[in-house]
Amino acid sequence: MENDYLKDVSILVVDDQEFIRNLVREMLRVLGAEHIYDALEGEDAWDQVNTRQIDMVLTDWYMKPVDGVALTHRIRNDPQSPNPYMPIIMMSGFSERARIFGARDSGINEFVVKPLSAKALFGRIMNVIEHPRQFVRTEQFFGPDRRRKKQEVDDERRGQGAKPEPEKAPLDMTQEMSQDEVDAFLNPDSVPKE
């Protein structure tokens, strides 16, 4: 069965490991992608973003000399960026809560925990294509709106003002997060299941 879901989407895969780039490329081909480009790290990726028509970036977190967070920040904030609204999906085997928060705060759209599965990657790609988020610009941040969770307000609560929330235990920022936990954090209203 032929799939052409990504036929017209040009995708840049950024990872310093050739095996991962090849694996992601094959997953994308199964999804119908025909325009797939490679970069070894963030500076190489930045050059390609500026010389090719790239629609989406899939980037690893940890690369040298320029990592995925720095690349994301540059795509979002550099005045020379050809498309600061470009969908960016971060891929990483490091899934500590602090890293997920850092990736989100750099302006990523989605996060995929390694080891990668085609289903998880496809779910994140579908999310950025079919459910794009509005972008927000503040003094400290430019990127997809991080306030995804919809909170219904019933008639009884409407007009009563904000009530203080009960105090919560501090989060362990070193705790590893599963793909489902990452999805619930980044997309609380639409969590694709693996």
Taking each helix axis from N to C terminus, what angle separates 179-186 and 97-106, rounded to the nearest 10 degrees? 40
Instruction: Give domain limits for the chain.
Output: 10-148+174-186
- pLDDT tens digit string along 146-157? 775 555 545 554
- pLDDT tens digit string along 22-77? 999 999 999 999 999 999 999 999 999 999 999 999 999 999 999 999 999 999 99
Find where tokens 């010389």 sit. Answer: 51
Task: Select the CATH number that applies to the domain covering 10-148+174-186 from these four: 3.40.50.150, 3.30.470.10, 3.40.50.2300, 1.10.540.10.
Answer: 3.40.50.2300
By the 8 A CB rule, do 91 and 15 touch? yes
Distance, CA of 24 to CA of 20 (rounded, Å): 6
